[in-house]
Chain A
Amino acid sequence: MLHFVLFIIFAVLCVAGAVNLLAQKHPIESALSLVVVMGALAGLYMLLGAEFLAAIQVIVYAGAIMVLFVFVIMLLNAGAEEHTRGSKIAILFGVPAMVVGSVLGAWVLLRSNPSTRDVAIGSLYGPPRDIGALLFTTYLLPFEITSVLILIAIMGAVVLARREHQ
């Protein structure tokens, strides 16, 4: 029962944040709604028992990546969007179409995959010790390749942002 209530709370927060992201006019409020979505996802991970993942979601996604998004929006001084006539018509037709589309998609998914059963609270428990053991034994190659990928991304960003030498 408590599991269901907590799931509903976090799921509603997540979806409301995502809808708010689309509905807001100012990009910084959209970015903050995305932070709320990340936090709600962390709550959902915690409900599944993946405590380490939940903490890392908050630290990395909500606390570092989204901070960078917010910085970029602040530095670029992106102003509020304005709603023109065309966009108002798009909203008028688009929102009901989206609702119908998502209901259809949910119906099709629930119909076609009968093996979806309820996941009990904490059923995917993953203490950090086990995750560390897996990362350094079974999944060592993907781990190292991911780190090389991140290094390449950092170098690419530095090269792109470098000032031209006169």
Chain B
Amino acid sequence: MPTGNLSVTTFVIVSIVKIVVFIGVLLTGVAYTVWLERKVVGHIQNRWGPTRVGPFGLLQPLADGLKFIFKEDLTPPYVHKFLYILAPMLSLTTALISICLIPVGGNITVAGVTTPIQITDTNISLLIILGITSIGVYGVALAGWSSNSKYSMLGSLRASAQMISYEVALGLSLIGVLMVTGSFSLRAIVEHQAGGFWNWNVFLGGGQFVAFFIYLCAAYAETNRIPFDLPEAETELVAGYHTEYSSMKFAMFFMAEYANMVTVACLASILFLGGYNGPTFSGFLPPILSSLMPVFWFLVRVVFFLFVYIWVRGTLPRFRYDQLMAFSWKFLLPLSLANLMITGLVVALRA
């Protein structure tokens, strides 16, 4: 039965509830990642971040959202209208879709219905996420071209060339994890890492520490974050591919960038750091709370990765564009191929 052991209507209702919860949590998470970034970068730079709007500046994202809604949404003349409007939509859609495949916890039983805490799982989840990342390049490329401006065009060409270069290293670094686990399904990858933190893929469970660092570097470049954010640095190219965007369309690019960060953090924690594995205290807690403990452990890992993202942003200078491309093609690619070969050798010898 393709819907598991649930009837079709129950499955549809449960799926809709899961989608609403996941998207709500994701969008709130994106908004508060912005808050976290401003606070952490502020403290790194020895100043407070936002403090005035609400306690600790916690209502700042709300104020920013209202600001974006009330800003004038102007369309410059001579833009290619259809693509100008399509590009931010494409960016945001591809950024938000990946959350469907992320397993956040094990099974949960509510009112007699047992369901995994994941919107859907497929045999090829990892490939689908790579495919979605590949489609995300269009949002950037089309935004810059359709804006009919020199800075946008240059910024978008650089950003999209950077994204497609680092996609190669990203994919190759994931293959090591794939070989160790033997399945593309994200839930299978997480379950392979069960049983203590030494069993994680980054430590002894898979030995993928090199792949972990390659993945982190490639992911920072994919999401156009410092140290790889030359295409959108303010002192370099005004604002790169989203120079000519205002109000809600800019907010869509903004949200897409942070949603990509959240997706990368989720993937890194699933593939390398053991996903949602952790003590569930099922002896002490009622069953609902003990099925939600894996969600807590997952969120701990995701917030840790977001913190590392923001920490790196506040600390490192940015690469020049040719250094950036040389780093991908001349360093990360051979390193990930070497990791692939060594992992393959070890897996073949052990089997």
Contacts and interface: CB of A to CB of B under 8 A. Distances in A.
Contact of B127 (A55, A64, A70, A71): A55
Given A67-B160, A70-B138, A55 B131 contact: yes
Given A71-B157, A71-B160, A128-B184, A55 B128 contact: yes
16 contacts: A28-B142, A29-B82, A32-B138, A55-B127, A55-B128, A55-B131, A62-B131, A62-B134, A63-B131, A67-B141, A71-B141, A71-B160, A71-B161, A74-B141, A74-B145, A129-B182
Contacts of B164: 64, 67
A62 B135 contact: yes
Given A62-B131, A71-B141, A71-B161, 19 more contacts: A28-B80, A28-B145, A29-B82, A29-B83, A32-B138, A51-B122, A55-B124, A55-B128, A55-B130, A55-B131, A58-B131, A59-B127, A59-B131, A62-B134, A62-B135, A63-B135, A64-B134, A67-B164, A74-B145
A7 interface: no
Interface residues of B, number: 26
Contacts of A70: 138, 141-142
Interface string A13-32: 00000000000001011001
Contacts of B128: 55, 58
Contacts of B135: 58, 62-63
B315 interface: no
Given A28-B83, A74-B153, A35 B124 contact: no
A75 B142 contact: no
Interface in A73-104: 74-75
Counting chain A CB atoms within 10 Å of each CB, which of B135, B142, B182 scores highest?
B135
Contacts of B138: 32, 35, 67, 70
Interface in A26-51: 26, 28-29, 32, 35, 51
B5 interface: no
Interface in B183-230: 184
Contacts of A128: 123-124, 184
Nearest to B146: A28
Interface of A: 26, 28-29, 32, 35, 51-52, 55-56, 58-59, 62-64, 67, 70-71, 74-75, 127-129
Interface string B108-130: 00000000000000111001101
Contacts, number: 64
Contact of B134 (A52, A63, A74, A127): A63
Contacts of B83: 28-29, 32
A128 B125 CA distance: 12
B120 to A, nearest CB: 13
Counting chain A CB atoms within 10 Å of each CB, which of B83, B131, B135, B137 scores highest?
B131
Nearest to A56: B127
B103 to A, nearest CB: 18
A29 B134 CA distance: 19
B140 to A, nearest CB: 10
A36 to B, nearest CB: 11
A55 B161 CA distance: 22
A62 B145 CA distance: 19
A129 to B, nearest CB: 8
Q: Which 7 A-B pairs have the closest CB atoms?
A: A63-B134, A55-B127, A58-B131, A74-B145, A59-B131, A55-B124, A51-B124
Contacts of A74: 141, 145, 153, 157
A28 B145 CA distance: 10
A32 B82 CA distance: 12
A52 B131 contact: no
